[in-house]
Amino acid sequence: MSDCIFCKIVGGEIPAEVVHRTDRFVAFRDISPKAPIHVLVIPVQHVASITESAALSAEARQEMPVFIAETATILGLDNSGYRVATNHGDDARQAVHHMHWHILGGDLLSESM
Ligand code: AMP
Ligand code: ZN
């Protein structure tokens, strides 16, 4: 989508600190981190949120959790632990309407989500 900020990151039109990438997914550091380590995982294909997961290819749907876990391992979080979250819609305060998974870690996280 031409006006989507995360599609522009996929296309290299705006900069991002990419930490992991395959043909189907990109992981990059959140510009406004909510934890010492805060990385976003997005599919290369534009889908608005988790509610549109069915629009992804079977390969992408299969790869998604594996890619998220690989990214956390690359970040050195696999032993200490991490949280994975995604937001859909207004009540969840979704701000960017391109599916993304937040990986949060690097410290003891809050008890509440
Ligand atoms: P959400 O509320 O789940 O839609 O989260 C959107 C996230 O995208 C927020 O944590 C923002 O800090 C992050 N974000 C917005 N623009 C950028 C950007 N250009 N590069 C990296 N992260 C971004
Ligand atoms: Zn997009």
Does 38 participate in catalysis according to the annotation? no
Strand, coil or helix: 26: strand
Pocket, ligand 1, Cβ cutoff 6 A: 5, 16, 30-32, 40, 87, 93-96
Inside any domain, residue 57: no
Torsion of CA 76, 70, 27, 87, to 10 degrees: -100
In tens digits, the chain (113 residues) has pLDDT values of: 789 999 999 999 999 999 999 999 999 999 999 999 999 999 999 999 999 999 999 999 999 999 999 999 999 999 999 999 999 999 999 999 999 999 999 999 999 87
Report if residue 70 sits inside a domain: no
Contacts of 77 (CB under 8 A, 6+ apart): 37, 103, 105, 106
Which CATH number characterizes residue 20's domain?
3.30.428.10
Give the 3-state secondary structure of residue 112.
coil
For residue 16, give the ligand 1 atom closest to its CA.
Answer: 20
Residue 9 lies in a domain: yes
Range of the domain at 4: 1-44+76-107
37 part of a folded domain: yes
Question: How many domains does the chain divide into?
Answer: 1
Cα of 5 from ligand 1 centre, angstroms = 9
Chain-centroid distance, C-alpha 19 = 11
Q: Could you say which ligand is closest to the alpha carbon of residue 13?
A: 1
Residue 67: inside a domain, yes or no? Answer: no
Residue 68 located in a structural domain: no
Assess if residue 103 is contained within a domain. Answer: yes
- Tell me the longest C-alpha to C-alpha distance in the chain: 39
Q: Is residue 63 part of a domain?
A: no
Query: Tell me: the pLDDT tens digits for 6-34?
Result: 999 999 999 999 999 999 999 999 999 99
Predicted pLDDT at 7? 98
